Chain A
Amino acid sequence: MTSLALSPACCGPGAAALDLAETPTLASGPAVDPAAFVRRETDGICRLDLMAENIHCADCIRKIERALRAFPAVTMARVNLSGRRIGVAWRDGKVEPMRLVEAVTRLGYPVAPFDPALLDERTKAADRELLRCLAVAGFAAGNVMLLSVSVWSGGSDMDAATRDLFHWLSALIAMPAVAYAGRPFFRSAVAALKVRSVNMDVPISLGVILAASASLMETMHGGLHVYFDASVTLLFFLLCGRYLDRQARAKARSAAEHLLALTAVAATVIEPDGRRRALPVAELKPGMILAMAAGDRIAADGLVASGSSDVDNSLLTGESLPVAVAPGASVHAGALNLSAPLEVTVTAAGENTFLAGIARLMALAEQGRARYVRIADRAARLYAPVVHILAASTFLGWLLFSRAGFHGALMAAVAVLIITCPCALALAVPVVQVVASGLLLRRGILVKSADALERLAQADSIVFDKTGTLTEGTPRLVDGGAIPGDCLRRAAALAEASRHPLAQALAASFQGPRPKAMDVVETPGAGLSGIVEGRRLSLGSRAFCGVADRSADDDRMEIWLSEDGSAPRRFVFADRPRADSRATIDTLKRRGYRISLLSGDREAVAARIAGELGIEDWRAGCLPADKVAVIESMTAEGRKVLMVGDGLNDAPALAAGFVSMSPATATAVSQTAADLLFQGRLLAPVAHALAVARGTERLVRQNFALAIIYNLGAVPIAIAGLATPLIAAAAMSSSSLLVTLNALRLKRLGA
């Protein structure tokens, strides 16, 4: 990606390695009214934050900032390229926020307003605290090491007064630094102890605190060995690991947040007096009337008050064919309004919505997953007691069986704690995961949760959803070759006028110049009519085109075309599998995964796709609860299920699976539920992610082995009381370095 910045094609589809612009809300649909997201400040300045996906380069920054500053009222316009965000401020009342949004949209950057306070303030504050801790630990580590090195190299030449002075200086730097920079670990350790469990942070905290306070005592008595350098360098290394870990996921998380914020950010409400107002979806109440333009996603469950249209429920039910709705029909949040404007009375809020039902199922399903314990914490559960028993018995051993006294015994025990402090162990997992997340991100796969890769590596069965996961989710003309060219040309010209997915598929199937359709009339739920090349054409359902013939009536998606003077003609469509679905499934089968298909669609459609892709285990007509039940029964058999799905109806199943993936085109709820998101038109990312996850796990285990071998060598030295601060520092750094270098080997997997 590095040299892409200056290439002229940088804003085109070519740079789409991380281009999230394929979300349907962004590609289609009118700009959202941003009024609800404007923040008014006391000094008469308004602020608005926008997300824009396809900002890639300096030229994008320049164009957007210049367009916004062209408004005299705008006081600040700033593009943030890392976050793909635009912040704009203007003097209140001097310019309509909609005009600003339009100015950016017109440049070719679709934007969505958002509220930064809701999105990421908390994680940002945590990130900053971690960075501050890292800075303080780094400063302390550098300076204490400077003093320590002079004490070590001074050896016997250094007089006791100078050595004590240096020790006191070290204490002065290290004590506040440990107290400040250690807080993230202390907090986490206390939290773990409160629920009577042990994580990696317990031995870390204990080691650091004991080392620092024992060293302080030693300094007071004018002792020879102090471990201030060990305690601060330890904190520094560990904070590095933790920061890397956060950063790797922060990028994926922010991309995922973008996708979420972009879907259904606001709904247009029609007030009783006829005015229209944009409201965030969360503020909708039953009884409100929503205006839905063609191409909008329906924001809440409701009844159609006026207008008739076709509604695409594919994200909710998996059903690939649109449904005609007329006044009185009920529609669900998340469905796509296709052909004509609708007014919808909001009926359900709270517990009764379809969405709330899905959310309940998800909450139930997620309880199982919360029990997963990360591999590092599982290691800590074994490791921490061993370390603490070792240190305690070293202390007792020296106290009882030697003449070292309390003081000497304590120093030996501290040495054991420092040597065994799981520095390499705590780096072993994050470093590998950082490398793995980076590899996956470059392939357009976002790892959302911290333990997703660990769980992915253990999966042994894969359950796929059909529509939008195994298939592309959009219908394609099946028998285009059998239709005369001029007939297809006229049909495509007429079909272009409609947003109905079948009409759009028909329009897309004809390449080349086409005539213009005149007098086009769209009858929602039925079809289109118009005049093309002087002929009167009707395009639509069987009934709309006056077809009496029932012989060809099967389950396939169809459009009929009747031209004056010739017999009606049938166009058949099918939702095609992704180009590499078959190959990917074959690969996964070869690797020993058990593959199943759970579809909400009709039996015939599911059977055809399953046959085409070679999936023996399939079920059609599944409700969201059925999918959860199937996955739970597989889990009960001891299987670890990877669920791959995109629809709202898949969300509970995604939460129920041991681990889950969604395409980036999935509904907001599914994206929230999924552990990983993948982008693009291919299914191969699923296989790639599984391979990287297994490689990651192998490396993590290797790293643990390395860390344990190092401990086996170093611990006896510490128990024997032979470890000096110099040995501790050298051993600690070298083992951390070894583990990090080993983690970098993972890069070969991605090449």
Chain B
Amino acid sequence: MTALLYLVPAALFLGLLGLGAFLWALKSGQFEDLDGAAERILIDEDEPEAAPTGQAKVRPTR
């Protein structure tokens, strides 16, 4: 039964980790544009004329 002493806290910690990750994602706007995220993967970032400024192509919202 001593295994419970670390198994239960470990289970709870992992659960809380997942909850925290979801709440963070929600807060940081990861769910703002689900369709856009699916399409953006198709944008080719290596086109020669695309990065003259050297800045990242996809910038975070706000």
Contacts and interface: CB of A to CB of B under 8 A. Distances in A.
Interface of A: 5-6, 57-58, 61-62, 66, 69, 76, 78-83, 87, 128, 131-132, 135-136, 138-139, 142-143, 146-147, 162, 165, 169, 173
Contacts of A6: 42
A65 to B, nearest CB: 8
Per DSSP, are chain A's interface residues mostly helix, strand or loop, or mixed? helix
A143 B18 CA distance: 12
Contact of A139 (B16, B34, B39, B43): B16
A132 B26 contact: yes
Contacts of B34: 82
A136 B18 CA distance: 10
A83 B33 contact: yes
Contacts of A69: 53
- Identify the interface centre among B15, B41, B53: most chain A CB within 10 Å of its CB: B15
A266 B23 CA distance: 38
A169 B8 contact: yes
B43 to A, nearest CB: 5
B59 A76 contact: yes
B43 A80 contact: no
Interface in B8-62: 8, 11-12, 15-16, 18-19, 22-23, 26, 31-36, 38-43, 50, 53, 59, 61
B11 to A, nearest CB: 6
A135 B15 contact: no
B42 to A, nearest CB: 4
A131 B26 contact: yes
B17 to A, nearest CB: 10
B33 A146 contact: no
A162 B1 contact: yes
A136 B50 CA distance: 42
Task: For chain B, give the interface size range.
Answer: 20 to 34
Given A6-B42, A143-B15, A80 B23 contact: no
Contact of A78 (B19, B38, B43, B61): B61
14 contacts: A5-B38, A5-B39, A58-B41, A69-B53, A76-B59, A78-B61, A80-B36, A82-B32, A82-B33, A135-B22, A135-B26, A136-B19, A165-B4, A169-B8
A79 B61 CA distance: 10
Closest 7 CB pairs of A and B: A81-B36, A58-B42, A58-B39, A139-B19, A80-B33, A81-B35, A82-B35
Contacts of B8: 147, 169
Contacts of B50: 66
A79 B36 contact: yes
Contacts of A142: 15
B32 A132 contact: no
A646 to B, nearest CB: 29
B50 to A, nearest CB: 7
B19 A62 contact: no
Nearest to A76: B59
Nearest to A81: B36
Nearest to B41: A58
B40 A135 contact: no
Nearest to A127: B31
Contacts of B35: 81-82
A396 B33 CA distance: 54
B32 A80 contact: yes
A256 B23 CA distance: 29
Nearest to B8: A169
A50 B14 CA distance: 41
Contacts of B15: 139, 142-143
